[in-house]
Chains A and B, each alone.
Chain A
Amino acid sequence: MRFRADRDTLLEALVTASRATASRSALTGAAPGLQLSLKGEHLEIVGSDPDLVIEARCKVAGESDGTVLVPTRLVTDIIRSFESGAVAVVGGDDEVRFSAGRAEFVVRVAAGAEITRLSTLETTGIDLPANTFADGLRQVVRAALVDDSRAPQLTAVQMQATEKGLRLVATDSYRLAFRDFEGMSALEEGSQVLVPAKALAEVQRLVGQAKDDDDEMIGFRHSDLDAVFDLDDVRITTRLVRGQFPDVDRLVPTSYAYRLKVQREDFASALRRVRLLVRDSKDVTTPVRLSFREGGVELQVLTPESGRAVEALEGEFSGEEIMIAFNPTYLLDGVEALRSDILVIEVNDPGKPALVRGEGEDEYRYLLMPVKVS
């Protein structure tokens, strides 16, 4: 294998593919590798862990085709260290040579090693509008459970075909995010798949990086085991999560006794400010206490060690005063997910789920359990 490539282009592809190998070493003890395959002008870089494969493609000046498996971290660091410009790569049986300017690296590689790949799906898929879908991912992925063996199904986002279209749902048991895409049909009606939030975060990241092109589409297809997301130069294949997603619809209250409306950006700024006093440790959640009162809301954080922070905001609220406390990070996650300028928080009881939503933004809902304070 022999080719010349632009350093920036090559680095971007390497970094993208290497995001699938991050957890490999911890799992198997083996040093994670990236597979470089050259066919004509097309270089394909594949990173893989047991559940996720990322294939990144870029154009290079190819001289002879071939395949080689290189150590992820080392090779990425080498290419990054080069100045912008041309990089020459020559792959042999047991070593690969990288050179740029007068610098040259010869990296030992395992001969004949091959990367594990998930099954290739032959089904035809559907195209999703990239920006809309990625915006939904941004709103929902944040509520998924981060790596937890107790309930693996919650590390996934549920993609569900509803009467109206597609729905994404995620929950870590403390909060629950819904996003509806009206008229979007990615799945057969009535069916659902559990896609790891980790893979979807990559999809969202890659779309976000791309130039704002409203016409860009994401190809999506799935089998019982895998799902594939096709972007311009990148393909993400992920194992689906097995298991039953909880029946979350029943958790959503049908009505609320209290409703607060407030400028979303003002609320977010105030929350970020009072949050400065939060002491976060594994064991303790310092809550932010929201007091809904006539004409607005007061945010308060109290810690025995550090002190107290209070901020009052004007807003729409009428009725008797009610105090409810939340994990400030979870609350801010919900508020920041919204697009609407007006934030609506609806509450029934300081011990029952509250709804965070944007006015006029009916496609997204963020349900949050409070923190119980005495």
Chain B
Amino acid sequence: MTVDQSALLDVLHVDMDCFFAAVEALDDPTLLGKPVIVGGAGPRGVVAACSYEARATGVHSAMPMGEARRRCPAAVIIAGRHSRYGEVSAELHDVFREFTPVIEPISLDEAFLDVSGSHRLFGTSEEIGHAIRSRVREVLGLDCSVGIGRTKLIAKLASREAKPRASKKGVLAGPGVVMVLAAEELEFLHPRPVRDLWGVGPKTAERLARYGVNTIGDLAALDPDALERLVGKAAGTHLHSLSWARDERPVESGLEVKSVGHEETFPTDRHDHKLLQPEVVRLADSVGARLRTAGLTGRTVNLKLRFADFSTITRAQSLNGPLLSSVEIARIATALLEAVDVGTGVRLLGVSVSSLEPLATAGGRQLSLMDLNDMAREPRAGAGSSSASKRPSEPARAEVEAAIDAIRTRYGARAVGPATVLDRGSGLRVKELGDGQWG
């Protein structure tokens, strides 16, 4: 068989090495070679990223900042500059576009690339992987790792193998590019822990472990019916396919944003709806502004709450038409919040809008003469229209918010905002991208 075995290996997963920390070191070369931790510096902060020097001491992302400080007292802790990372990420995508138009971004520093149309110009997938690494180094001054495989799953796991490693002795360079041939997929996949599969979270892994299923190979050996009984029908089918390296999902370049949202971690847990509601308004206000800037609207409002014990819930409500204003997002998110018991304390709150569509082609939203929900609540209160007359109509709000956006464009985000968000002393606390995200 002299068939070029790399022929169908068209999926590349490119992942920046210690992205946030590396960007900080790039802008401040004195940080080079030092343990750097980017994340929330507050008492509730978590590690968003850290350099390999910090990793060598046992620090890893998502670790509470207090713990990270204990493990690595010498670390330089940086709050993080979300907008700067966004700039670098945009340049990174420009580099990707030199090689292929089919790019599926996963986060600021990670993307899938489909290079099936790029071989004539740039050679084999492996050659393209190396070329991307040197281009990224040349243009951005940063390092990345590239995984290559037949599917997204294999490519993603392969890029992990390509990474440098932190050890007590220092940073060991990784291979940079790792390619997994189709014939080697199962050998590569099966020894790995089940957690490496998408869709296997801690709960599922725990349940599987109780049945002696620890590796992907164990899972692949399970009868599909038995697996479905363990994890449910949809997940069962999905995981069984993945465990045999069957992953049909294409690299989707649609640049499609699935949702627009903001989250905030609080310095101390909040146990009271009254203290959370203004934050909902604040988050909704900025989500609405971002949607409008992007020329988008959505039909579903999602509320995310993480409690003191780190358990996380989400609640969502969909409308029969596009959302019209930040006020409406806030109203729906507030209603969702009110239905949740927050007695155990909330450490993180998130508001997002999904079911997005472009404003220009969005279906319209049928307006109402009166609010049916109000009528149901107070069937005897007389006119169902009473509330309608007290509140401005949705189109009126939309006009108000267009004006607010215009003021903010000219005078800055803190120039105007909802009264609920007014803080004695510090003035308006308008949510901006990235602040408070990591606590």
Contacts and interface: CB of A to CB of B under 8 A. Distances in A.
Interface in A128-184: 148-151, 153-154, 171, 173-176
Given A247-B385, A251-B385, A151 B367 contact: no
B368 A351 contact: no
Interface string B361-395: 11111111111110110011111110001000111
B368 A371 contact: no
B372 A251 contact: no
Contacts of B365: 285, 371-372
Interface of A: 148-151, 153-154, 171, 173-176, 243-244, 246-248, 250-251, 282-287, 302, 304, 325, 327, 330, 349-353, 367, 369-374
B396 interface: yes
B361 A304 contact: yes
B385 to A, nearest CB: 6
A286 B322 CA distance: 12
Contacts of A173: 368-372, 384
B193 interface: no
12 contacts: A151-B376, A154-B372, A174-B368, A174-B369, A243-B380, A246-B383, A284-B363, A327-B366, A371-B321, A371-B364, A371-B367, A372-B367
B163 interface: no
Contact of A243 (B322, B366, B379, B393): B379
Given A151-B372, A351-B396, A284 B321 contact: yes
Interface string B198-235: 00000000000000000000000000000000000000
Contacts of A350: 395
Contact of A251 (B366, B370, B376): B370
B369 A374 contact: no
B359 interface: yes
Given A248-B385, A374-B297, 14 more contacts: A150-B376, A153-B375, A173-B368, A173-B369, A174-B366, A244-B382, A251-B369, A286-B363, A286-B364, A302-B361, A304-B361, A351-B367, A351-B393, A369-B366
B419 interface: no
B299 interface: yes
Contacts of A243: 379-380
Contact of A372 (B364, B370, B376): B364
B370 to A, nearest CB: 5
Contacts of B371: 173
Contact of A369 (B318, B363, B367, B375): B367
Interface string B57-94: 00000000000000000000000000000000000000
Contact of B318 (A244, A283, A373): A283
Closest 8 pairs (CB-CB, A-B): A351-B395, A371-B364, A247-B383, A284-B363, A246-B384, A287-B364, A304-B361, A373-B364
A351 B389 CA distance: 14
Given A350-B395, A372-B395, A285 B384 contact: no
Contact of B394 (A244, A284, A351): A351
Contacts of A353: 369
Contact of A247 (B366, B368, B382): B382
Main secondary structure of the interface of A (DSSP, over half): loop
A369 B385 CA distance: 13
A149 to B, nearest CB: 8
Nearest to B399: A351
Nearest to A374: B359
Contacts of B375: 150-151, 153-154, 246
B395 A150 contact: no
B182 interface: no
B426 interface: no
A229 B367 CA distance: 35
A371 to B, nearest CB: 3
Contacts of B30: none
Nearest to A289: B364
Interface residues of B, number: 37
A173 B321 CA distance: 16
B364 A244 contact: no
A149 B383 CA distance: 18
B379 A250 contact: no
Contacts of A367: 369
B368 A287 contact: no
A374 B383 CA distance: 30
Contact of A171 (B361, B369, B373, B395): B369
Contact of B320 (A175, A282, A373): A282
Nearest to B300: A283
A302 B297 CA distance: 17
A247 B380 CA distance: 12
Contacts of A246: 370, 375, 382-385
Contacts of B31: none
Given A246-B375, A246-B385, A247-B382, A371 B395 contact: no
Interface in B266-324: 297, 299, 318, 320-322, 324
Contacts of A148: 372
Nearest to B378: A244
Given A246-B384, A351-B393, A372-B324, A283 B369 contact: no
B398 interface: yes
A283 B366 CA distance: 11
Nearest to B297: A374
Contacts of A154: 372, 375
B360 interface: yes
A154 B360 CA distance: 34
Nearest to B363: A284
A353 B322 CA distance: 19
A304 B382 CA distance: 42
Interface string B317-336: 01011101000000000000
A374 B299 CA distance: 14
A176 B369 contact: yes
A153 B379 contact: yes
A327 B395 CA distance: 16
Nearest to B386: A247
Contacts of A285: 320-321, 363-366
A243 to B, nearest CB: 5
Given A153-B379, A351-B393, A374 B384 contact: no
Contacts of A250: 383, 385, 389
A37 B382 CA distance: 44
Of residues A153, A154, A244, A367, which shows the largest number of chain B Cβ atoms within 10 Å of its Cβ? A244
A353 B395 CA distance: 12
